[in-house]
Structure 1
Amino acid sequence: MKLIGVDIGGTFTDVIYTDTDTGVSKIHKTPTTTNDPSIGMVNGILELCSRYGIDRGSVDHVFHGTTIATNAALEHKGAKTGLITTEGYRDLLQIGRHQRPENYSITQDIPWQDRSMVARRYRKTVSERIGVLDGKAYEKVPLDEEAVISVLDDFKKEGVESVVVGFLFSYLNPDHEERVKEIVQEKFPDFYITTSAEISPQFREFERFATASMNGFVGPKMKGYIEALESRLADAGIDCDLLIMTSNGGVANSATISEKPVLTLLSGPAAGVLGGQWAGKLSNHERLITFDVGGTSADIGIVTERGFSESSAGDTEIAGYPLQVPMIDIYTIGAGGGSIAYVDAGGAFQVGPQSAGSYPGPACYGRGGDLPTVTDATLVLGRLDPDHFLDGEMEIFPEKAVASVQHLASVLGLGLYETAEGILTIVNNNMANAIRSRTIQKGFDPREFSLAALGGGGPMCSIEVAKILDIPEVIIPPYPGITSATGLLTTDLKYDAVQTIFVASDKVDLAYLNERFTNLEKEITAQLMDAGFEKEQISLLRFFDCRYVGQGYELRIPVATGVINESNASAIWNTFHEVHKREYGHSFLNNPVEIVNMRVTGVGEMPKIGDPDFAEGSRSLDEALVKVAPAWFRSNSTLKSFDTPHYMKSKLPIDEAFAGPCIILQKDTTSVIPPNCAATMSANGSIIVKIGGEA
Structure 2
Amino acid sequence: MIGIDVGGTFTDIIAMSKKGEILTAKLPTNRENRELAVIEGARIFASESDPILNHASTAGLNAILTRNLPKIGFLTTIGHRDILDMARAWRPLQEQTNPLWRRGCGDASSPFVDRYLRRGIQERITSRGEILIPLDEKQARAELGVFKNCDVKGIAICLINSYINGDHEQKLRDLIREIMGETFPVSISCDVSPLAKEYERASTTVIDVYMKIVFGEYLNRVTEGVSKFGFSKNLNIADSAADLVPFEFAMKKPSRIMYSGPAAGIKASTHFGELIDETEIICCDIGGTTSDIGLIKGGKPTVKATFEVEHDVIVNTLAIQIWSIGQGGGTLAHVNSAGELLVGPQSAGSDPGPACYGKGGHEPTITDACLLSGILRTEEFLGGEMSLYPDLSRQAFEQLATNTDLAAKVKQVYELGLHNIAEGILGVTVERGIDPRDYALFAYGSAGPMLVPQLMERLGVGKVIIPPFPGVYSALGLASTDMVYSDSKSAYIELGSDQKMVEKINRVFSTMEESLMQQINPEDREHVQVVRSFDGWYEGQTWETPFIPAPSETITEESIDTMLSNFHVGYQEMWGNMFPFLPVIATTYRTMLVIPTKKLEYPELPRRKTGEMIAQQKSLQYITDSELAINEYRRDALLQGDEIEGPAIIREPKCTIMVCSGQLACVGKYGEIHIERRK
Q: Give how far 1:15 is off.
A: 0.6
1:433 and 2:423 equivalent? yes
What residue ranges of structure 2 are gaps of 5+ in the alignment? none
Q: 1:603 to 1:108 in 2, by over 3 A?
A: farther
Checking the alignment, whether the CA contact within 8 Å between 2:163 and 2:194 is kept in structure 1 is yes
Q: Give how far 1:619 is off.
A: 7.4
1:628 to 614, 617, 634: 617
Task: Tell me the C-alpha RMSD between the 2 structures.
Answer: 2.1
Is the partner of 2:626 in helix, strand or coil? strand
Checking the alignment, whether the CA contact within 8 Å between 1:366 and 1:397 is kept in structure 2 is yes
Q: 1:81 to 1:681 in 2, by over 3 A?
A: same
1:638-688: CA deviation from partner (whole Å, max 9, x where unpaired): 623222121111101321221111111111111111111111112412111
Is the partner of 1:640 in helix, strand or coil? coil
Q: Give how far 1:561 is off.
A: 2.0
Matches within 5 A, 1:256-275: 256-275=249-268
Is the partner of 2:661 in helix, strand or coil? coil
Is the partner of 2:105 in helix, strand or coil? helix
Q: Give how far 1:452 is off.
A: 0.5
Cα distance in 2 for partners of 1:599, 1:506 equals: 19
1:37 and 2:34 equivalent? yes
Q: 1:512 to 1:239 in 2, by over 3 A?
A: closer
1:575 to 566, 579, 597: 566
Q: 1:443 to 1:13 in 2, by over 3 A?
A: same
Structure 1 outlier segments of 4+, above 6 Å = 616-619
Q: Give how far 1:184 is off.
A: 2.0
Q: 1:333 to 1:255 in 2, by over 3 A?
A: same
1:74 to 52, 65, 69: 65
1:285 and 2:275 equivalent? no
Q: 1:312 to 1:289 in 2, by over 3 A?
A: same
Aligned residue in 1 for 2:13: 15
Cα distance in 1 for partners of 2:492, 2:121 equals: 28
Residue identity opposite 1:414 in structure 2? T
2:644 to 642, 658, 663: 658
Is the partner of 1:249 in helix, strand or coil? coil
1:537 to 512, 519, 527: 527
1:96 and 2:107 equivalent? no
| Percent identical residues | 29
Residue identity opposite 2:241 in structure 1? N
1:316-368: CA deviation from partner (whole Å, max 9, x where unpaired): 44454022111111111111000011121112121000111101111111111
Aligned residue in 2 for 1:125: 120
Cα distance in 2 for partners of 1:612, 1:317 equals: 38
Matches within 5 A, 1:442-481: 442-481=432-471
1:484 to 439, 449, 474: 474
Q: Give how far 1:421 is off.
A: 2.3
How many residues get paired?
Answer: 671
TM-score (norm 2): 0.94
Checking the alignment, whether the CA contact within 8 Å between 1:79 and 1:218 is kept in structure 2 is no
1:99-150: CA deviation from partner (whole Å, max 9, x where unpaired): 33437232434123132211110011222222344xxx23332222232222
Is the partner of 2:140 in helix, strand or coil? helix
Deviates more, 1:500-509 or 1:238-247: 500-509
Aligned residue in 2 for 1:276: 269
Q: Give how far 1:154 is off.
A: 1.5
2:598 to 607, 612, 637: 607
Aligned residue in 2 for 1:381: 373
Aligned residue in 2 for 1:338: 330
Is the partner of 2:216 in helix, strand or coil? helix
Q: Give how far 1:383 is off.
A: 0.7
Residue identity opposite 1:278 in structure 2? H
Checking the alignment, whether the CA contact within 8 Å between 2:289 and 2:349 is kept in structure 1 is yes
Aligned residue in 1 for 2:670: 684
Matches within 5 A, 1:75-224: 75-102=66-93, 104-106=96-98, 107-113=100-106, 114-133=109-128, 137-189=129-181, 191-224=184-217
Residue identity opposite 1:45 in structure 2? A
Deviates more, 1:488-497 or 1:512-521: 512-521
Checking the alignment, whether the CA contact within 8 Å between 1:65 and 1:244 is kept in structure 2 is yes
Residue identity opposite 2:641 in structure 1? D
Residue identity opposite 2:663 in structure 1? C
Residue identity opposite 1:648 in structure 2? R
Q: 1:312 to 1:186 in 2, by over 3 A?
A: closer
Q: 1:271 to 1:449 in 2, by over 3 A?
A: same
Checking the alignment, whether the CA contact within 8 Å between 1:201 and 1:500 is kept in structure 2 is yes
Checking the alignment, whether the CA contact within 8 Å between 1:619 and 1:653 is kept in structure 2 is no
TM-score (norm 1): 0.92
Checking the alignment, whether the CA contact within 8 Å between 2:294 and 2:322 is kept in structure 1 is yes
Q: 1:507 to 1:174 in 2, by over 3 A?
A: same
Residue identity opposite 1:631 in structure 2? L
Aligned residue in 1 for 2:411: 421
What residue ranges of structure 1 are gaps of 5+ in the alignment? none
Cα distance in 2 for partners of 1:288, 1:458 equals: 15
Cα distance in 2 for partners of 1:619, 1:554 equals: 60
Q: 1:292 to 1:523 in 2, by over 3 A?
A: same
1:27-85: CA deviation from partner (whole Å, max 9, x where unpaired): 01111112101112211332345xxxx35xx6321111111110011111112110111
Checking the alignment, whether the CA contact within 8 Å between 2:634 and 2:651 is kept in structure 1 is yes
Cα distance in 1 for partners of 2:453, 2:74 equals: 49
1:640 and 2:637 equivalent? no
Aligned residue in 2 for 1:597: 588
Q: Give how far 1:291 is off.
A: 0.3
Is the partner of 2:42 in helix, strand or coil? helix
Residue identity opposite 1:630 in structure 2? S
Q: Give how far 1:238 is off.
A: 3.1
Cα distance in 2 for partners of 1:540, 1:417 equals: 59
Checking the alignment, whether the CA contact within 8 Å between 2:77 and 2:160 is kept in structure 1 is yes
Cα distance in 2 for partners of 1:566, 1:87 equals: 42
